[in-house]
Amino acid sequence: MIARAPCVPLVREISNALGKAGCVEYKGRDGGTARARNGAASEENPFTMDVKSFSNERRRCSWCLVHPLYVAYHDEEWGVPAHDERRLFEMLILEGAQAGLSWLTILKRREGYARAYDQWDVERVARYGRSDVARLLSDPGIIRNRAKIEASIANAGCFLETREEFGSFDRYIWRFTNYATLRPARPPTTLEEIPATSPESHTMSRDLRRRGFRFVGPTICYAYMQACGLVDDHMEGCFRCRELSRGASGLKAM
């Protein structure tokens, strides 16, 4: 089973094209292709092209699309240990919102989510009522799915209860990896080598569900672990694989 690294269903179709010298070709879900040469974007390409991001100077994981939001997320956040409570809450909600969608869809709405959710103030979100649900359902800057919106508000309350019990959500969530980033003995060389779940993500999912959290299945939990650096699945040859293994985070202050 292939990992749910961001947008993996699409990445499977295009990964064999990444890294070609002077030319990057993409096959979309509709079977059409988009091609860019020497950094020129094709009008057919659904993504913003930035071929320089994939020069030999910096090799990246093969799932990393050339959209600048994707590149920035890969370079600055994915696999980086996160301990800030606001960020841990943000990623919990965004990973749940991604269910059934691509990660790029969520990244494009990230600023909209921050505005809609009071800059991820968990205390405020936990107090949202019917009028807030209606507001969120009419907000084009987020995914307007009632089940996901109602779950996000319920999860805010569960987040606060868990934080109260453990002193911080950070202390609670990192205990599933014994307070350390998990790395494979050998960095993965193909997408097939990156798991979609792990024993730890199954344990996390069961415990979160027991506490009342929603949209926290084992696959979502594993993606959350990757996003918050509980797991580092950067691939062999990726410059971030080398940096993170040496302890260089590169995460910007949020």
Q: Which of 77, 90, 95, 200 is catalytic?
A: 95
CA distance 212 to 224: 17
Rg (CA), the chain: 18
Q: Is 95 a catalytic residue?
A: yes
Catalytic residue among 103, 113, 120, 224: 103
Q: CA separation (Å) from 171 to 88, 213, 252?
A: 11, 17, 21
Backbone angles phi, psi at 59, to 5 degrees: -90, 140
Q: Based on the residue annotation, tell me whether 73 is a catalytic residue of this protein.
A: yes
The active-site residue, picked from 63, 70, 73, 117, is 73
Handedness of CA 61, 65, 71, 76 (dihedral sign): negative
Look up 103 and say whether it is catalytic: yes
> Which residues are the active-site residues?
73, 95, 103
